[in-house]
Structure 1
Amino acid sequence: MNRKLLTGGLIALIAAFLVAYFASPVLAVRGLTEAARSGDEAALRERVDFPAFRASLKEELNGELVARMRADPRSDNPVLSGLGMLLAPSLVSGMVDAFVTPGAIATMVRSARAPDPMHRPDQVETPERAAEDKDTVRQSWAYRDLNTFAVTLTNSRHPDQHLALLMERRGLFDWKLAGIDLTAPSEDDAI
């Protein structure tokens, strides 16, 4: 009888550990979302690895900017195109360093919009836009690997635009926002 009780207790303990291990990113995402909606900058600072997030955002925006420059029909002058591609990373880097604050993270979470490297004015959040976006942002969650969990945000008014925030595991149960993916989600991203 003691052996069955010990085995049952061990199985229950392992099951509880596995549930906590795999459910912990969902709780971290909910904490991040609540902090963003309430504007709690201290809670956002705790939930975001700002150096890693800035590096990831710079990489994504540089890639998007280079793709736009290559696709621009006016870029038929190779010297100017090359100069633009050479200067673009430093411009994006400065913008990201100045832009990525707890308030900016909150805006991205509430609106499902990433900053645009071309500084389109329609991406500035106003109180009216924040109120409109509150009920239009949908979330989907997926593991990318055991240590990376993606929460994909989609604004129902712009269903073709996706913003994937990448949470990374820090220890067994702790997660921090450490990256961003501006590409459209694919079925291959989830495991």
Structure 2
Amino acid sequence: MKKLIALILAIAIVVLGWWFASPWMAMRGLAGAAQAGDTAELEERVDFPALRASVSDQITEATRRRQGQGGGLIDALGGAVAERIGREITDRALTPEAVGTLVVSGSLAAGMLPERLRGQDIDWDVERNGFDHFRAVGTFEDGTGGPTLLFARDGLGWDLTGIELP
């Protein structure tokens, strides 16, 4: 009976250890692959169809919010065109290299960062969202908020599935 209790306790410790440590290990692995420029590893750690859908949804939402401020047929047509162009750009721009740049610099294109943020390190804080999701919230050295990376559990590992841009 003591062996059974010890086994159950050992299994519980391993499961809890994985639950607490795996998001940090996933973020560390993603950051390591990004810093090394390992595109094959980035492709494994990122669910690109889900990531592209996440960014496209944000573009669509922003476009529709902006349309609501204007009004009229020309604004609606312009919004539809901008939405379509945004989706095309997203599909072509979200590459392993771009994700690596995002993780290292805090921006999909380092040149797009405001001048005051260029050259600053970005730190990632992990926030749990239940058993199957976590967020890595970016913060620049000066305290400015950066992007938030959204992860979903994939078996015993984690995949980057979305980005919330600041």
Find the counterpart in structure 2 of residue 13 from structure 1: 11
**4+ runs deviating over 4 angstroms:** 68-71
Greater relative contact order (Cα < 8 A, sep 6+)? 1
**What is the CA-CA distance between 1:68 and the residue it aligns to?**
4.5
How many Å apart are 1:138 and its aligned residue?
A: 1.6
Task: State the distance in 1 between where 2:66 and 2:141 align.
Answer: 24
- Deviation of the 1:67 alpha carbon: 3.4
Deviations 1:6-28 (A, max 9, x none): 31232122211221133212211
- Equivalent in the alignment of 2:112: 123
- 2:27 partner amino acid: V
Call closer, same or farther: CA 1:12–1:37 in 2, change over 3 Å: same
Q: Counterpart in 2 of 1:50?
A: 48
Q: Secondary structure at the match of 1:151?
A: strand
* Pair 1:176-2:159 in alignment: yes
Structure 1 match to 2:138: 153
* CA distance in structure 2 between the aligned counterparts of 1:157 and 1:59, rounded to whole angstroms: 29
Q: CA RMSD in A?
A: 2.4
Distance in 2 between the 1:100 and 1:6 partners? 50
8 Å Cα contact 2:148/2:164 also seen in 1: yes
Q: Which amino acid aligns with 1:103?
A: E
Q: Distance in 1 between matches of 2:74 and 2:143?
A: 33
Of residues 149, 158, 162, the one that matches 1:165 is 149
Which amino acid is the alignment partner of residue 152 of structure 1?
A: V
| Per-residue deviation, 1:114 | 4.5
Give me the identity figure in percent.
32
Q: 1:79 to 1:55 in 2, by over 3 A?
A: same
Contact 2:99–2:108 (8 Å) recurs in 1: no
Secondary structure of the 2:19 match is helix
How far 1:144 moved relative to its partner? 1.8
SS of the residue 2:129 aligns to:
strand
> C-alpha displacement at 1:156, in angstroms?
3.1
Residue of structure 2 equivalent to 1:188: none
Aligned counterpart, 2:123: 138
1:105 aligns with 2:108: no
- For the Cα contact (< 8 Å) 2:98–2:108, is it kept in 1? no
Q: Which of the residues 84, 87, 97 maps onto 1:93?
A: 87
TM-score in terms of structure 2 length: 0.85
- Can you give the 5+ residue segments of structure 2 that lack an aligned partner in the other structure? none
